[in-house]
Amino acid sequence: MTTRLLIVGPQGSGKGTQGQRVAEAYGVPVVSTGDIFRANIKGGTELGLKVKAITDAGNLVPDDVTGEIVSDRLSQSDAIERGFLLDGYPRNAAQVAYLDDFLASHSAALDAVILLDVPRAESVARITGRAEIEGRSDDTEDAVAHRLDIYESETAPIAETYAQRGVLDRIDGVGTLEQVTERIFAALDARSLIR
Ligand code: AMP
């Protein structure tokens, strides 16, 4: 059984937490480009040095760099055999095309795309709260506003592409963690995806 999922949502939508819960239920690894970049920055790797200033400013890391990281990770045996839950990739139309090509070359496709809908004011409030707890260096007020602008202009439109393919589940992301998780599971169950 292979399950290939994508979770999309603005920063502060809870997609990291929900993504982990869904991935656990389906027994697939979470593939988060943001986590991969943060681990490299923390470890002081060549990649980390290359992307630190970009991520701190809230800009997108170039597509070729990000694409290579994703195809490397998705080529590992766990992702090939069991599938995956992508979090934070793809984030624009070019990345959707790159992922399409990668999956097609493995005779695969996404089974479902979960879109977490959260109003901008709520996202800002949640990120501001997280900044105090985690102290992420890209959670300054300017960087947060910039990331949400990029989300609205570049990432939100990819939902339409997946909606046209019939794989999009639009989920109301406002509520308790449990309520939102239940909504996601209900949508995935309706697609007969087996947990
Ligand atoms: P995230 O944790 O998903 O919000 O990602 C943190 C930062 O990593 C983003 O603000 C970007 O700078 C970078 N990043 C993560 N995923 C991508 C992606 N798919 N394309 C470009 N940059 C990305």
Please state which CATH class domain 3-190 belongs to: alpha beta
pLDDT, one tens digit per residue, over 85-119 is: 999 999 999 999 999 999 999 999 999 999 999 99
pLDDT at 129: 81
Q: Give the number of other Cβ atoms within 10 Å of residue 65's Cβ.
A: 15
Catalytic entry in 38, 73, 147, 183: 147
pLDDT for the residue numbered 148: 96
Annotation says 147 is catalytic: yes
| pLDDT at position 26 | 97
Cα-Cα-Cα-Cα dihedral sign, residues 8, 10, 11, 12: negative
Dist. CA 174 → ligand 1 center (Å): 23
52 is an active site residue: no
Query: Is it the case that residue 59 has pLDDT exceeding 80?
Result: yes
Domain ranges of the chain: 3-190
The residue from 15, 21, 52, 183 that is catalytic is 15
Q: Is the pLDDT of residue 140 over 90?
A: no
Query: In terms of DSSP H, where are the helices of 27-119?
Result: 33-43, 46-56, 63-74, 77-82, 93-105
Q: Does the pLDDT at position 131 exceed 80? A: no
CA distance 99 to 95: 6
* Residue 139 pLDDT class (50, 70, 90 cuts): confident
The closest alpha carbon to 41, from 55, 30, 31, belongs to 55
Q: Is the pLDDT of residue 23 over 90?
A: yes
Contact 193, 82 (CB under 8 A): no
What is the reported pLDDT for 125?
87
Per-residue pLDDT, 43: 98
Q: What is residue 33's three-state secondary structure?
A: helix
Give the tens place of pLDDT for each residue, 7-21: 999 999 999 999 999
Ligand 1 first shell, C-beta below 6 A: 11, 33-34, 37, 54-55, 58-61, 66, 88-89, 91, 95, 138, 147
How confident is the model over 149-158, as a mean pLDDT? 97
Q: Which residue of 31, 59, 61 sits with most ligand 1 atoms within 8 Å of its CB, as the best mutation to test the pocket?
A: 61
CA-based nearest residue to 35, from 1, 86, 80: 86
CA separation, residue 57 to residues 23, 79, 132, 136 (Å): 29, 31, 18, 12
* Whether residue 195 lies in the annotated active site: no
> Of ligand 1's atoms, which has the minimum distance to the CA of residue 57?
12
* Per annotation, catalytic residue among 21, 52, 73, 91: 91
Beta carbons of 25 and 187 less than 8 angstroms apart = no
DSSP 193: -
Confidence check: pLDDT of 128 > 90? no
